[in-house]
Amino acid sequence: YMKRKRYEYTHWDDAIHGYRESERSEWTPENQKVLSRIRQFAFDDPTQSLVHVHILDIAK
């Protein structure tokens, strides 16, 4: 899916350039393990994180 999207070079707050973005709420079991580790590290209460995960693919 992401490979079909074009890279964007403008952003509403000019913070990033050359990116593709998406949101996901369903993951493979392998990816779910990775997200669980990230949530444990990044949030005081991992159960309060949002259902949809914002994904950014930054151009080289």
How many folded domains does the chain comprise? 1
> 22 Cβ partners below 8 Å, 6+ apart?
1, 2, 5, 54, 55
Q: Is it the case that residue 28 has pLDDT exceeding 80?
A: yes
Rounded Cα distance between 14 and 31, Å, is 30
Tens digit of each residue's pLDDT (9 = 90 or more) over 37-59 = 988 898 888 777 788 888 999 99
**Mean pLDDT of all residues in 8-14:** 92
Identify which of 23, 20, 26, 27 has the alpha carbon closest to the alpha carbon of residue 3: 20
State what percent of residues in the chain have pLDDT above 70.
100
Tell me if the pTM is above 0.75: no
By residue range, what is the domain housing residue 39? 2-58
In this prediction, residue 10 carries a pLDDT of: 92
